[in-house]
Every structure is written in C-alpha cells, then in structure tokens.
Amino acid sequence: MRFAKYHGTGNDFLLVEDLDDESRLSNELIAALCDRHRGVGADGLIRILRSDRADFVMDYYNADGNVSEMCGNGIRCLAKYVFDRRLTSKSEIDVDTRAGLKHLVLDAVDGTVERVTVDMGQPSLERKALQMSGDPGGTFVGQPLLAGGRTFTATAVSMGNPHVVLFLGPQDDIASVDVPSIGREVEHRPEFLNKTNVEFVRVEDGSITMRVWERGSGETMACGTGACAALVASSLAGLTGREADVRFPGGLLRVAWRGDDHVFLTGPAVFVFEGELSAAWTDGVLAGARR
C-alpha cells in the first residue's frame, strides 16, 4: 500500500488513494501508522475515495485510529493531492465528508496547488450538534468553565465536529499555557458525550493567536475546524469582526464568516513525501495488536 504525507500549516496527514474502496484499514493499523516513534507519524489519516454525489470522499481518522467528522487542514491536503496527481483537472471540487459536502476552490500556480479555500458550512451553537448534554436546543456561549485550576470564559461551537474555545486574558502568555493537561481535561469532561476539541485563544488587535488540543490526536500545530470555531466564538464575543487571521505555531490561516452564515477557511497545503507500506510491517503491527 502506498501513502503520501502532506501538511497544512504543520497539521500533518497520511493520504491513502483508495478510489475503489478496496483497503479497509483497522483502527490499530491507523494508530500505528500515525505513531511518531514507531510509525510514519501524523495527526491523522485520510482515505481518498470516489463518490457518486461529489468528486471525492474524505474518509478521515484521528491519530488514535478513531473516525472523525471533518478536518479543515486535511481536506485542503486532499484537494492538492487529487489536483497535482491529475485525478481531477477542476479548479473547484466538491468533497463528501461525515460533516456533509464541502466545496473547495483550488489556487494553483504553474499546475501545482499552493492554497485552497474551503466552504466549511454553517457553524452551530446548539448542544445537540455538539453532542453535549443538557437542553438539545440550548447553547454554551460566553460561559465560565473551570479547568486546570482556573476559570475560563468559554464558547462551544460545532463545525461538523465539536469545539470548545477557551479565551485567554491579555496577561496570559499563550506559549506557557499547559495545553496538554488542560486540553485533555476538557476533552474528557462528561458533558461532552463524544469528547471535544479544545482551542486556547488570545485575541489582540482583531487577530487571533491560538493553540489547539485535538480530540484523539493531542496538541497539533494547527486545526482548520478549530480556527473556524475560534473566529465564530471571537466574533460573537465582540473581540473580532467576521473575518480574521488565525495564527498557530504551524502558520497562518484566514477565516471569514460571511453573510450567508457560511465559514470559509483559506490556507496552504504542502506535499512532504511518499512511501510504501510493507506487508511485513503491517503483519507485525496487527500481530502485536492481537497479542
């Protein structure tokens, strides 16, 4: 089985071209591939399939091998993969995901995609969409949330997958925040019935600086759906307008929450390398999982 590694603002993925849906990968194998010490290393894995209602299907898995609904950085990498490898000649494509159809506009230079804009759809604040306990039609916006021994102002936003945005104060140094400890604590809070992604956000002069703890992957260099959730939460709080730059340790994304209520994400997609997975390595991983 061949694979390719790509990243979007440092958020890295293994892409497997499986157009005819012939390679069902186990959770154990995906987790082993994404392991940064014993495998290839990645924040997640994407199988690329043909679709009967779109151009392609994105079958996305977190680094722990569990399925996830959507990935904003990953879907841009998929777009670059299919265009650069001549699986499509279109400059605009539709991709089917577990969070619905997504429309992508590809910015190619000399036949190579460098940036992609994704229509991420409409955000939802309802607890039902967030798989959050309580009144299904209720929201969690600008509420206190106790974690890591301190109280954050928090807003929960679904971008097809659940997010909790924690606002930091002007006195906070975002680099020194204990993201792994607090992020893990919030991810596993009982009110989030299917766990949650956690964003640590500082807003200054209308732009957003953030770090992210991703459900099933841990801290990552960037998160596309997290950037969208952060912009929505910051706009609702009056801290930004409806468009802003979002800066991660891995780079810069641009997010716009437009008048039709759709959120648009723009950022780079970068090819890293490709390789081949040997049967011997696969058999060893699966044998170890069975033991």
Angstrom distances, CA of residue 84 to CA of 56, 72, 110, 119: 15, 19, 10, 21
103 vs 78: CA distance, rounded Å: 12
Catalytic-role residue among 34, 71, 77, 228: 71
At residue 158 the predicted structure's pLDDT band, cuts being 50, 70 and 90, is very high
Query: What does CATH list as the number for 127-261?
Result: 3.10.310.10
Picking from 114, 73, 98, 107, the residue whose alpha carbon sits closest to that of residue 224 is 73
pLDDT of residue 24: 82
pLDDT of residue 57: 98
Average of per-residue pLDDT values in the chain: 95
At residue 1 the predicted structure's pLDDT band, cuts being 50, 70 and 90, is confident
- Give the count of alpha carbons within 13 A of 16, CB side only: 24
Instruction: Let me know: does 50 contact 62? Beta carbons within 8 Å.
Output: no
Q: What is the mean pLDDT of residues 142-169?
A: 97
pLDDT of residue 267: 98
Task: Please say if the pLDDT value at position 115 is more than 70.
Answer: yes
Task: Please say if the pLDDT value at position 291 is more than 50.
Answer: no
Task: Please say if the pLDDT value at position 221 is more than 90.
Answer: yes
pLDDT of residue 283: 76
165 vs 233: CA distance, rounded Å: 7
Residue that is written with structure tokens 């399939």 in the block:
49
Instruction: Let me know: does 277 contact 1? Beta carbons within 8 Å.
Output: yes
Task: Please say if the pLDDT value at position 290 is more than 90.
Answer: no
284 vs 291: CA distance, rounded Å: 11
pLDDT of residue 289: 52
Instruction: Let me know: does 155 contact 142? Beta carbons within 8 Å.
Output: yes
Q: What is the mean pLDDT of residues 159-173?
A: 95
At residue 209 the predicted structure's pLDDT band, cuts being 50, 70 and 90, is very high
Task: Please say if the pLDDT value at position 286 is more than 80.
Answer: no
Q: pLDDT tens digit string along 66-107?
A: 999 999 999 999 999 999 999 999 999 999 999 999 999 999
Q: What is the mean pLDDT of residues 186-206?
A: 96
Phi-psi region of 190 (alpha: psi -120 to 50; beta: other; left: phi over 0): alpha
Note if 71 is an active site residue.
yes
Q: pLDDT tens digit string along 28-68?
A: 999 999 999 999 999 999 999 999 999 999 999 999 999 99
Q: What is the mean pLDDT of residues 189-195?
A: 97
Catalytic-role residue among 34, 77, 223, 228: 223
Q: Which CATH number fits domain 2-120+269-290: 3.30.930.10, 3.40.50.970, 3.30.70.100, 3.10.310.10?
A: 3.10.310.10
Picking from 162, 140, 137, the residue whose alpha carbon sits closest to that of residue 69 is 162
Q: Where are the domain boundaries for CATH 3.10.310.10 in the chain? A: 2-120+269-290, 127-261
Note if 228 is an active site residue.
no
Q: Does the model's pTM come out above 0.85? A: yes
Residues 6+ apart with CB under 8 A from 291: none
Q: Secondary structure of the chain in the HEC alphabet?
A: CEEEEEEECCEEEEEEECCCCCCCCCHHHHHHHHCCCCCCCCCEEEEEEECCCCCEEEEEEECCCCECCCCHHHHHHHHHHHHHCCCCCCCEEEEEECCEEEEEEEEEECCEEEEEEEECCCCECEHHHHCECCCCCCECCCEEEEECCEEEEEEEEECCCEEEEEECCCCCCHHHCCHHHHHHHHHCCCCECCCCEEEEEEEECCEEEEEEEECCCEEECCCHHHHHHHHHHHHHCCCCCCEEEEEECCEEEEEEECCCCCEEEEEECEEEEEEECCHHHHHHHHHHHHC
Angstrom distances, CA of residue 80 to CA of 75, 89, 104, 137, 257: 9, 11, 11, 38, 24
CA angle at 196 for the pair 61 and 253, rounded to the nearest 5°:
75
